[in-house]
């Protein structure tokens, strides 16, 4: 069965590309546009990995990440944070809150796809 | 004295009577019985009485003689001693009136002669000392003058944080902060103690490590705003002896910095996000060339939209940055010639152009941001060189009607007015200049105009900048001419020791004093009399600081009695609209903080202060000295201990009496003259002065 990817980002112009990219890689994809929806979708859609934007309405990506990793039921979900905040303190914050990877925008789609594949153990 | 005299006379009379009685008894005992009987028959009661009267008369005559002798010797001798001490101590001009026995009169004349020669010697010595000190004083005055003209605020402190020196800029910086800035006061009243202590520790560490002895911090003082403080060590004998603080109000600077950082971060983040969107879309297009046409169109649309948005954001950020830079440099009064020189140097060094001067009015001062103007002129010269191969430019500065005209001239190919207009609106990016500012923005900042003119026949052209003229008198120069400066500095405080807790142990000469006086509606604070005027002056290290005074009229909220008006001359209309005592006393409390209070008949004034303590919620609990009591200590025989009498005895000129500040000044002068006299009597510390005061009889008078 295909692995599931949840994309949480409020910018439709990046969501379009990420959705396409992940579908082409053979994953089942769902996209949401704010932090609260992201948490709800984790419960209902049960993704294997979340591509999580840091700056979102509702809850920030940091908060969503911290919630996911703080809950035994969702701890296993891989989190890749995507952010235009590229200062080292922000990267350190994401990693410390439990993110499995922190990718600074702009990024190479090919590298992102490879990273996702690797994190899902494929 | 009288008791001593009475006791002596009584003792003498008793002894004389005893000797007479003993003589008579011995005489009687020596007689044969018949002679005794004969004597007894001779000794009728009348005769015995007569003999007794004679004996008593003899004793009385001798007693009176003794009394006279005493008056001629002991009293004059005591006054002679007191006078000699006065001459030696406080008033070398005092002379002793001869009295008593000729020998004592002679002694008085001798002391007076000694005083004359001592005075002559002293005058000579004083002249020599004065000459020797003149150099040192010159140095100090030069330093003080330098400090007071510095635009930057300077405060110098000793190791313990006592302020030794400050300048006018520091005074302005802390102007809103009451009387917190003053010689001998603690710098911790102005700046956060923890930060200052940390800086001092850092200085000591650097001193130990052989590093540069300066550090800096930013603090938010109680008065508000933000200060950047540079601390540099004052070193004596390889030890940290104190520190110099250079203070700058960086409130606007730091706010501007914060805005610029926010601008930059916002720009970075939006740019990254937009680039991410563009890159992901492009990479998808490249990676999957076979995607459906509608999807392809979608990604292409994303790329175009994001690119447009990105340009818009960059334009917005550039505009915002340009606004920021507009306020970066304040407009200042600058000599036109200096401005031209600055611009020439920039044009020459940045663009390698030749420059010449043409008609520069040397007397002209303009109000300008010289840096951005020089940048603008260099930008123009750079474009002229790059785009029109101009090799030489000239500067001209003339006075217009209400403005100054600064022109950049050149010969050669004329510019079209469209080009000139475009140059005015472009950011400074030509040849070596790199700033988002535009000429238009620079000119707008100066509230002026700029235009381009060409003269076809002579093949010459110029850009003209119209700049505001400076105020008629350039600021910052006039102040140097004023003669008397307040006493802003006292380096002797470097020697002041640390502990303020054990004030009683401290020598009087080292303490800070607030000498004060009040004028009141009447004499009975407990019956509702009120303060109507409060004056005070500070003494630090034995120096009267006439530059740090406190003077305030107070609305007493009650009518003035005609008698009191006669004393102080303050009429009710003068007090209308003055602050109430509840507003004045907290300010005075601050002024007098950490000093010993001194007053003449201070008990009276203190009563007026203390009765208000519950109302103002502050206590005047510092030690108090009273010149009235100290005069008692020094001169118990004196007829009067009134301020004027003491002043006359000590040779203090009395001016402006019966104003609170005037009386405080006289009291301070008197107090300073008393210090050496007290020292002669072994009274050197505050504790000793207080104990001696309490022992005098006046100390028991309570209001």
Interface of A with B (CB under 8 A): 11, 13-14, 16-18, 20-21, 24, 55, 82, 84-86, 104-110
By percentage, how much of chain B surpasses pLDDT 90? 10
Of B272, B283, B306, the CB nearest to A13: B306
**Predicted local distance difference test score (pLDDT) of residue B2:** 61
- Please check whether residue B309 touches A, CB under 8 A: no
* Residue B286 C-alpha, separation from nearest chain A C-alpha, in angstroms: 11
Distance from CA of B546 to the nearest CA of A (A): 56
User: B135 Cβ partners below 8 Å, 6+ apart?
Assistant: none
Smallest Cα distance from B580 to chain A, Å: 56
| Residues ≥6 apart with Cβ < 8 Å to B27 | none
pLDDT value at residue B330: 65
pTM: 0.45
Q: How confident is the model at residue A16 (pLDDT cuts 50, 70, 90)?
A: very high
- Smallest CA–CA separation between B186 and chain A, in Å? 41
**From the list B272, B276, B284, which residue is nearest A20 (CB)?**
B284
**Between residues 327 and 366 of chain B, which touch chain A (CB distance below 8 Å)?**
none
Place of tokens 């350039």: B474
What pLDDT does B481 receive?
Answer: 30
pLDDT of residue B536: 93
Average pLDDT along chain B: 81
- Confidence band for B135, pLDDT divided at 50, 70 and 90: confident
B281–A16 CB contact, under 8 Å: yes
Gap between the Cα atoms of B469 and B366, Å rounded = 4
d(CA A31, CA A16) in angstroms, rounded, equals: 9
Per the DSSP assignment, residues forming a β-bridge with B538 are B514, B545
Kind of pairing, strands A49-53 and A78-83?
parallel
Please indicate if any CB of chain A lies within 8 Å of the CB of B305: yes
For residues B372 and B434, give the distance between their C-alpha atoms in angstroms, rounded to a whole number.
12
B589 labelled catalytic: no
Answer whether A16 sits within 8 Å of B278, measured CB to CB.
no
Contact B276 A24 (CB under 8 A): no
pLDDT per position as a tens digit, A51-93: 999 988 888 899 999 999 988 899 999 999 998 887 778 888 8
Closest CB to B277 among A11, A55, A108? A11
DSSP code per residue over B577-629: TPPBHHHHHHHHHHHHTTSEEEETTHHHHHHHHHTTHHHHT----S-EEEHHH
B276–A106 CB contact, under 8 Å: yes
Number of domains in chain A: 1
Q: Which residue of B has its CA nearest to A86?
A: B269
Interface contacts A/B by beta carbons within 8 Å: 67
Residue B270's closest chain A neighbor by CA? A84
Other CB atoms closer than 10 Å to residue B480's CB: what's the count? 9
At residue B430, the pLDDT reads: 62
pLDDT, residue B558, reads 80
Whole-number pLDDT of residue B500: 43
Give the phi and the psi of residue B696 in degrees, each rounded to 5. Answer: -80, 155
Instruction: Name chain A contacts of B302, Cβ cutoff 8 Å.
Output: 13, 16-17
pLDDT grade, residue B485 (50/70/90)?
very low
> Which of chain B's residues have a Cβ under 8 Å away from the Cβ of A104?
272
CATH number of the domain to which A49 belongs: 3.40.50.2300
Express each pLDDT in B565-599 by its tens digit.
766 777 787 888 888 888 899 899 888 888 899 99
DSSP codes of every residue in B175-220 = TTSTT---TTSBGGGTS-HHHHHHHHHHHHHHHHHT--SEEEEEE-
Using alpha carbons only, how large is chain B's radius of gyration in Å? 43
Please report how the helices A35-45 and A61-70 are oriented relative to each other, as an axis angle in degrees rounded to 10. Answer: 30
The Cα of A79 is separated from the nearest Cα of chain B by a number of Å equal to 19
List the single residue in A with minimal CA-CA distance to B290.
A24
B702 pLDDT more than 60: no
Residues of B in contact with A110 (CB under 8 A): 283, 287
Cis ω before B511 (30° cut-off from 0): no
Tell me which fold the domain B503-700 belongs to: Nucleotidyltransferase; domain 5 (3.30.420)
Reference B582, options B607, B546, B622, B609; nearest CA is: B609
Among A82, A105, A107, A108, most B C-beta atoms within 10 A, so best to mutate, is A105
Nearest CA-CA partner of B343 in B303, B361, B319, B370 = B370
In the predicted model, what is the mean pLDDT of residues B356-372? 85
Please pick, among B118, B198, B230, B658, the residue that the annotation labels catalytic. Answer: B658
| For residue B82, pLDDT beyond 90 | no
Sheet of A28-32, strands arranged across: A28-32, A4-8, A49-53, A78-83, A101-104
Which value does ipTM take for this structure? 0.87
pLDDT tens, position by position, B621-635? 888 888 988 888 888
Of the candidates B576, B574, B572, B573, the residue with the CA atom closest to the CA atom of residue B562? B572
Please indicate whether, in this complex, the C-beta atoms of A16 and B270 are within 8 angstroms of each other. no
Q: Which fold has domain B150-249?
A: Beta-Lactamase (3.30.450)
Most A CBs within 10 A among B267, B270, B273, B279, hence the mutation to make, goes to B273
Determine the pLDDT at residue B477: 32
Mean pLDDT of B100-128: 88
Whether A16 and B305 lie within 8 Å, measured CB to CB: no
Q: Nearest CB to B279: which of A16, A20, A106?
A: A106
Q: What pLDDT was estimated at residue B174?
A: 82
Whole-number pLDDT of residue B657 = 67
State the average pLDDT over residues B28-44: 81
May I ask the CATH class of domain B332-468?
A: alpha beta
- Closest Cα in chain B, distance from residue A108 (Å): 7
Q: What residues contact B558, with CB distance under 8 A and at least 6 apart?
A: B521, B528, B530
Closest-approach residue (CA) in chain A for B283: A109
Q: Cβ of B284 and A109 within 8 Å?
A: yes
In percent, the amount of chain B with pLDDT more than 70 equals: 90
Overall average pLDDT of the B157-178 stretch: 80
Judge whether B267 is closer than 8 Å to chain A, CB to CB: no
- Judged by a CB distance cut-off of 8 A, whether residue B277 touches chain A is yes
Q: What is the DSSP letter of B241?
A: E
Task: Note the pLDDT tens digit of each residue in B43-59.
Answer: 788 888 888 888 888 88
* Res B480 pLDDT > 50: no
pLDDT reading at B490 higher than 80: no
Are the beta carbons of B277 and A109 separated by less than 8 Å? no
Instruction: Name the residue in chain A with its Cα closest to that of B302.
Output: A13
- What tokens were used for A7? 């994309």
Average pLDDT, chain A: 91
- Could you tell me the residue range of the domain that residue A44 belongs to? 4-119
Q: Provide, as residue numbers in chain A, all residues whose Cβ is less than 8 Å from the Cβ of B298.
A: 16
């Amino acid at each position: 069965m295909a692995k599931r990817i949840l994309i949480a980002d409020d910018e439709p112009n990046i969501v379009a590309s990420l959705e396409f990219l992940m579908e082409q890689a053979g994953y089942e994809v769902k996209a949401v546009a704010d932090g609260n929806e992201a948490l709800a979708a984790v419960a209902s859609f049960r993704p294997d990995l979340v591509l999580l934007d840091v700056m979102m309405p509702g809850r920030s990506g940091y908060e969503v990440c911290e919630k996911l990793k703080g809950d035994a039921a969702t701890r296993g979900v891989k989190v890749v944070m995507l952010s235009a905040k590229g200062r080292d303190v922000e990267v350190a914050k994401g990693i410390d809150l439990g993110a499995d990877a922190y990718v600074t925008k702009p990024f190479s789609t090919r590298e992102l796809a490879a990273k996702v594949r690797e994190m899902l153990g494929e | 004295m009288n008791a001593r005299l009475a006791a002596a006379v009584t003792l003498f009379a008793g002894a004389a009577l005893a000797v007479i009685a003993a003589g008579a008894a011995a005489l009687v005992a020596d007689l044969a019985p018949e002679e005794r009987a004969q004597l007894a028959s001779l000794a009728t009661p009348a005769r015995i009485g007569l003999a007794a009267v004679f004996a008593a008369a003899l004793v009385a005559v001798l007693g009176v003689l003794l009394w006279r002798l005493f008056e001629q010797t002991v009293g004059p001798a005591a006054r002679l001693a007191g006078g000699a001490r006065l001459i030696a101590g406080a008033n070398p001009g005092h002379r002793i009136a001869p009295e008593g026995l000729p020998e004592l009169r002679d002694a008085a004349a001798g002391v007076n002669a000694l005083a004359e020669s001592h005075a002559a010697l002293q005058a000579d010595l004083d002249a020599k000392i004065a000459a020797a000190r003149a150099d040192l004083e010159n140095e100090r005055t030069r330093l003080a003058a330098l400090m007071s003209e510095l635009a930057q605020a300077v405060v110098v402190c000793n190791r313990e944080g006592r302020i030794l020196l400050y300048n006018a800029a520091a005074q302005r910086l802390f102007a809103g902060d009451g009387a917190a800035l003053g010689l001998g006061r603690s710098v911790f009243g102005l700046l956060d103690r923890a930060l200052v202590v940390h800086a001092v520790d850092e200085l000591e560490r650097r001193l130990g490590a052989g590093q540069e002895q300066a550090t800096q911090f930013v603090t938010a003082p109680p008065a508000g705003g933000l200060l950047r403080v540079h601390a540099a060590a004052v070193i004596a004998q390889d030890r940290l002896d104190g520190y110099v603080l250079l203070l700058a109000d960086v409130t606007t600077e730091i706010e501007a910095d914060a805005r610029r950082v926010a601008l930059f971060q916002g720009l970075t983040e939006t740019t990254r996000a937009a680039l991410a969107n563009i890159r992901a879309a492009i990479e998808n297009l490249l990676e999957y060339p076979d995607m459906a046409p509608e999807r392809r169109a979608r990604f292409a649309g994303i790329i175009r939209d994001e690119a447009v948005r990105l340009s818009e954001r960059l334009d917005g950020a550039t505009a915002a940055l340009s606004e920021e830079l507009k306020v970066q440099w304040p407009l200042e009064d600058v000599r036109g010639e200096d401005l031209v020189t600055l611009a020439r140097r920039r044009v020459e060094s940045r663009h390698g152009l030749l420059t010449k001067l043409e008609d520069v009015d040397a007397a002209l001062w303009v109000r300008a941001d010289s840096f951005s103007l020089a940048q603008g002129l260099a930008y123009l010269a750079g474009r002229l060189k790059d785009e029109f191969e101009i090799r030489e430019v000239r500067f001209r500065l003339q006075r217009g009607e209400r403005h100054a005209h600064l022109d950049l001239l050149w010969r050669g190919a004329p510019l079209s007015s469209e080009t000139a207009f475009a140059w005015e609106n472009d950011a400074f990016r030509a040849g070596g200049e790199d700033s988002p500012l535009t000429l238009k923005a620079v000119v707008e900042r100066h509230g002026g105009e700029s235009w381009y003119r060409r003269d076809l026949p002579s093949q010459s052209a110029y850009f003209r900048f119209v700049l505001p003229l400076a105020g008629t008198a350039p600021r910052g120069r006039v102040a140097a001419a004023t003669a008397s400066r307040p006493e802003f500095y006292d380096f002797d405080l470097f020697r002041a020791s640390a502990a303020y807790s054990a004030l009683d142990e401290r020598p009087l000469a080292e303490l800070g004093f607030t000498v004060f006086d009040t004028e009141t509606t009447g004499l009975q604070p407990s019956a509702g009399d009120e303060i109507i005027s409060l004056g005070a002056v500070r003494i630090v290290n034995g120096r009267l600081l006439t530059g740090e005074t406190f003077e305030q009229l107070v609305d007493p909220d009650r009518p003035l009695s005609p008698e009191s008006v006669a004393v102080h001359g303050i009429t009710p209309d003068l007090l209308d609209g003055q602050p109430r005592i509840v507003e004045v006393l907290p300010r005075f409390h601050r002024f007098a903080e950490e000093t010993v209070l001194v007053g003449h008949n201070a008990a009276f004034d203190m009563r007026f202060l203390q009765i208000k303590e519950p109302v103002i919620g502050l206590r005047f609990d510092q030690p108090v000295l009273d010149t009235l009591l100290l005069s008692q200590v020094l001169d118990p025989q004196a007829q009067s201990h009134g301020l004027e009498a003491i002043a006359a005895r000590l040779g203090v000129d009395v001016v402006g009496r019966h104003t609170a500040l005037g009386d405080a000044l006289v009291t301070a002068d008197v107090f300073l003259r008393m210090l050496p006299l007290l020292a002669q009597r072994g009274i050197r510390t505050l504790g000793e002065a207080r104990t001696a005061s309490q022992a005098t009889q006046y100390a028991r008078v309570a209001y």
